[in-house]
A = this chain, B = another copy of it.
């Protein structure tokens, strides 16, 4: 398999790398520069792989490209211990995956990107405040949900935890308030055998 990722750390690509590490699947990578103008993900050669111009993309051994980080996670996790074996369990996992892409990533990942690389320059004060409030709301929902629970879905370590771990693990360092339940959950994810860290930022701007 071949994973298209970015030169600077991407939580969305990291999710896939973390699951591939747990599954002990070997893969090659191509790292694209998303800070160039235009981004290397918007160049014609990459748009033939993902017309939406985003990483990660996982190219399967037969050449099929799969886009959307959480769709890739689901594909890789089917029939493995990282996805529940019941229909309701899978629905719970998908609930968290869609929560991540709709209510969490657009605020926390964007805040991380602006903090370390992009700057908040062209955004209005209202827009910046909305990023912070909604990101915090997402973390607060996780905090309440994790009360008395070990993992996000069905009391098992699944791709729901892998997907949410990626950007939640950076949240405190970029100024969000992270509660005790979430902190303990982050630690439980990190202590899993086979856990790997996100790749280092070669520009040195991001310490995470």
Q: Is A99 an interface residue (CB 8 A)?
A: yes
Contact of A124 among B72, B103, B124 (CB under 8 A): B124
Q: Is A87 an interface residue (CB 8 A)?
A: yes
Please give the count of copies of this chain that the complex contains.
2
Interface size, A (range) = 35 or more
Q: Is A149 an interface residue (CB 8 A)?
A: no
**Looking across the interface, which residue of chain B has its beta carbon closest to that of A98?**
B68
Given A78-B90, A124-B126, A127-B124, residue A68 in contact with residue B95 (CB < 8 A):
yes
Q: Is A120 an interface residue (CB 8 A)?
A: no
Contact of A51 among B68, B90, B91, B144 (CB under 8 A): B144
Contact across chains for A87 and B98 when beta carbons are under 8 A apart: no
Interface centre among A52, A66, A91, A106 (most CB of B within 10 A): A91
Contact across chains for B122 and A95 when beta carbons are under 8 A apart: no
| Chain A 86-111 per-residue mask, 1 if CB under 8 angstroms from chain B, else 0 | 01101100110111011101100000
- Which residues 55-97 of A have a CB within 8 angstroms of B? 60, 64, 66-72, 74-75, 78-79, 87-88, 90-91, 94-95, 97
